[in-house]
Structure 1
Amino acid sequence: MEGMTRAELDVAESRDFALGGRPMRPRDAATLIVIERRAGAPFVLMGRRHRRHAFMPGRFVFPGGRTDPTDSRIPVVRPLHPDEEAKLIGSGARASSARARAIALSALRETYEEAGLLIGRKDAFSTKSRHWQGFAEHGIRPSLDGLRYIARAITPPGRVRRFDTRFLAAWRDQVAVELAEGGPTDELEEIVWLPIGEAIEAEVPVITRTVLDDLDKRLATDPELSPGGPVPFYFMRANRFMRVVL
């Protein structure tokens, strides 16, 4: 995607985004890449969005969605690693620990809602938030210390919906409970584990393919995903899609 003009990107993403939206500020969003090694090869969890959806219909994606600022109030077993928190906080007027925590917890919540995976540890947990009742029912307190920040991407202008998405990663052994019936929502179907190479060639959005390629390269040099690693950031500037490393 790096270096593509807005017109080129509009064509590449025409299946995934409704074009022609009014100018709008991107909304915070979070997505989680759950990784498992099989015979030394990394596999990732993906699900196909229903074809009736207006946003990325029929595409394989990672669990994720819009960030809910109230997620920052959810108690956790352990917080984000300091190096990961610092990268998520970043800089700017809206930078804060609470925002970084909300982004990370939103990724966990969405992964439960869409894929039925509860990431955390067995521990007493209760909350008044209706969005976290699944964790309470299964006695799982979320934990953030194993999350790794992989990439960030802002949806280009001219879309009906725009998101400032943080791509986070977690290993499958951080999953405390896997619900056989999947998550309580119908956002994703055909939930599958794919080798990264196959996932890159699957029906995935352009940005997902780009992030998968970044993840594949990072795992080749940093197989354990050390805290504070490089984070590619994709955004549109001066009619060109840019890539910088945070």
Structure 2
Amino acid sequence: MTALDGIGRSELDVKESRDFALGPGPLRPRDAATLILLDHSGGETRVLMGKRASKHAFMPGKFVFPGGRTDPTDGRVKVSGALHTAVEQRIIGGTRITKTRARAIALSAIRETYEEAGLLIGTKGAFSTNHEGWHGFAEHEVQPNLEKLRFVARAITPPGRVRRYDTRFLAAWRDDVAVELPEGPTLELEELAWMSLAQARATDLPAITLSILSDLEERLKHDPDLSLDAPTPFYRMIRNRFKRDLV
């Protein structure tokens, strides 16, 4: 159990008032994806974290993983390696979204990691595209690759926020990065750093990020390769209680 499991809506509102702008927002959350990049070298697992700019209404000044909203056109980008069927089914997660939409969600995590952190995940090789947001992959000759992504968690932003997302948290390894640039082209994340899991937990994290990082740290103790069939946490509001279930 984590600190958020079973917490009431009013208590959660207070806890997250510094993470989100509260107020009437969309009834239906938008699809989004986050990528947790892990580095196993050096004998200690490290994770990539970045600080969001203070001007953002969503998690201002907080340390987060790279990620953002899904663009439907992401699903039409060519890849050198397909999403594993088990990961695809976890992304769909009992919803009515299509396999193409699931693919778009996964690809949005890779695109956002390039835009925010300057890291291009994929395979070196000629690549061309007309899709906005992917020209950097063509410029640096990196073919996006989905085959090594692993599903880590899912979280739906509770009602009462000016922005709501249905976020899938995916993981990849630093070895999957084909090109590392000094920074991302959008500069949305500041103070990018590779941290030990303990160091990451000690930063100023949104409550949901801390919970998912704690879940991941516990899982890595007995499942360092993030196996495809392991149960994963799903956070969402049910009858005014924020619940964590393993699915």
TM-score (structure 1 length as normaliser)? 0.97
Find the residue that maps to 1:150 and give its secondary structure.
strand
Question: What's 1:71 paired with?
Answer: 74
Cα distance, 1:23 vs. partner?
Answer: 4.8
Judge which range, 209-218 or 82-91, deviates more: 82-91
Cα distance, 1:144 vs. partner?
Answer: 0.3
Question: What's 2:62 paired with?
Answer: 59
Find the residue that maps to 1:219 and give its secondary structure.
helix
Letter of the aligned partner of 1:46 in structure 2? M
Find the residue that maps to 1:39 and give its secondary structure.
helix
Separation in 2 of the partners of 1:22 and 1:124? 42
Question: What's 1:102 paired with?
Answer: 104
Separation in 2 of the partners of 1:21 and 1:64? 23
Separation in 1 of the partners of 2:64 and 2:116? 11
Confirm whether residue 211 of structure 1 aligns to residue 212 of structure 2: yes
Question: What's 2:143 paired with?
Answer: 141
Residues 25 and 163 of structure 2 are in contact (CA less than 8 Å); yes or no, is this contact kept in structure 1? Answer: no
Question: What's 1:153 paired with?
Answer: 155
- Equivalent of residue 115 in structure 1, options 101, 114, 117: 117
Confirm whether residue 86 of structure 1 aligns to residue 107 of structure 2: no
Post-superposition Cα deviations, 1:138-183, rounded to whole Å, max 9, x if no partner, equal 0000000110010000000000000000010000000000002x11
Cα distance, 1:55 vs. partner?
Answer: 1.6
| 1:21-40 paired onto structure 2 within 5 Å | 21-40=24-43
Residues paired across the two proteins, number: 244
Confirm whether residue 43 of structure 1 aligns to residue 46 of structure 2: yes
Change (3 A) 1:117 1:22: closer
Separation in 2 of the partners of 1:7 and 1:208? 19
Question: What's 2:17 paired with?
Answer: 14
Question: What's 1:221 paired with?
Answer: 222
Residues 26 and 164 of structure 2 are in contact (CA less than 8 Å); yes or no, is this contact kept in structure 1? Answer: no
Stretches of structure 1 that go unaligned for 5 or more consecutive residues are none
Residues 84 and 228 of structure 1 are in contact (CA less than 8 Å); yes or no, is this contact kept in structure 2? Answer: no
Cα distance, 1:39 vs. partner?
Answer: 3.2
Separation in 1 of the partners of 2:34 and 2:55? 21
Find the residue that maps to 1:125 and give its secondary structure.
coil
Separation in 2 of the partners of 1:217 and 1:127? 39
Question: What's 2:235 paired with?
Answer: 234
* TM superposition outliers: structure 1 runs of 4+ over 3 Å: none
Cα distance, 1:57 vs. partner?
Answer: 1.0
Letter of the aligned partner of 1:19 in structure 2? L
Judge which range, 46-55 or 102-111, deviates more: 46-55
Q: Percent identity?
A: 61
Stretches of structure 2 that go unaligned for 5 or more consecutive residues are none
- Equivalent of residue 162 in structure 1, options 161, 164, 170: 164
Separation in 2 of the partners of 1:17 and 1:48? 15
- Pairwise CA RMSD: 1.0
Separation in 1 of the partners of 2:227 and 2:25? 40
Cα distance, 1:95 vs. partner?
Answer: 2.6
